Amino acid sequence: MIMQVKTPEYEGMNMARSFAFMWQREGFYGLMKGNGINVVRIAPFSAFEFFFYSLYKRKIFGGSDASPLKKLICGGMTGMTASFLTYPLDLIRTIMSVKVDGRSDIKPSILGTGRDVLQKEGIQGLYKGLPATLYVTTINV
């Protein structure tokens, strides 16, 4: 993720050097940051997927008689809905993961990071990048 967003501290480093640099600056925490919120996010995401797939298939696509194409569309809609509902957690995970701070005494929290985004950018700040996520969600069905 750090390489994807081209974090300046990691510019020009290969993967092995990036891990070594991260370990040196942030220790074990640097390798695991963002993982806690991913664990928190996955439970509601999966629950939303089960719920909305069943709901959409039954209410929109004819239930168990739905064709494979209808089930495919239903799956895409389901993924988009679950992504939309849990996107703020995904955004917070990304922010926490790419934040580089050599001071090991400062550990950003899930709530603190979310509060920072809300204070700086409002509710719409929690959904920046959502269109790209929804696009990727639909093509990965």
Mean pLDDT of 126-133: 89
Rounded to the nearest angstrom, the gap between the alpha carbon of residue 72 and the centroid of all alpha carbons in its chain is: 23
Tokens of 105: 């005494």
Those residues with Cβ within 8 angstroms of residue 45's Cβ, 6 or more apart along the chain or in another chain: 82, 83, 85, 86
pTM over 0.75: no
Residues 6+ apart with CB under 8 A from 4: none
* Across 47-72, average pLDDT: 92
Structure tokens at 100: 């580089």
Residue 4 has pLDDT above 60, yes or no: no
Residue 50 CB coordination number (10 Å): 11
In a domain, 1, yes or no: no
**Each residue of 19-34: pLDDT tens digit?**
888 788 777 877 777 7
Does some domain include residue 2? no
- Whether residue 50 lies inside any domain: the answer is yes
Q: Is the pLDDT of residue 113 over 80?
A: yes
User: Which amino acid, one-letter code, is at 44?
Assistant: P
Least confident residue range of 14-23, 95-104, 121-130? 95-104
Helical segments of the chain, H only = 15-32, 35-59, 68-98, 110-121, 130-139
Query: Tokens for 103?
Result: 């001071």
Domain, as residue range, for 120: 8-139
Round the average pLDDT of the chain to a whole number and report it.
Answer: 83
Number of domains comprising the chain: 1
Any domain includes 3? no
What's the pLDDT tens digit per position in 74-104? 999 999 999 999 999 989 888 887 776 655 4
Range among 31-40, 60-69, 132-141 rated most confident: 60-69
